[in-house]
Amino acid sequence: DLSRLKSHIDLKSEILTIRVSRMNPVAL
């Protein structure tokens, strides 16, 4: 399912963004 795949990618990118922001808060 395409929409399911997209939401999965969005979730992964969101987790990655949170990890980066935790390591480097100035990155956001």
pLDDT of residue 8: 92
What is the rounded distance in angstroms from the CA atom of residue 14 to the CA atom of residue 8?
10
pLDDT of residue 6: 92
Q: Are 19 and 11 in contact (CB under 8 A)?
A: no
pLDDT tens string for the chain (28 positions)?
889 999 999 999 999 888 888 887 675 5
What's the pTM? 0.51
pLDDT of residue 25: 67
Torsion over CA: 20, 21, 26, 28 (sign): positive
R_g (Cα) of the chain, nearest Å: 11
DSSP letter for each residue of 6-27: HHHHHHHHHHHHHHHHHH-GGG
Taking the mean position of all CA atoms in its chain, how far away is CA 17?
5
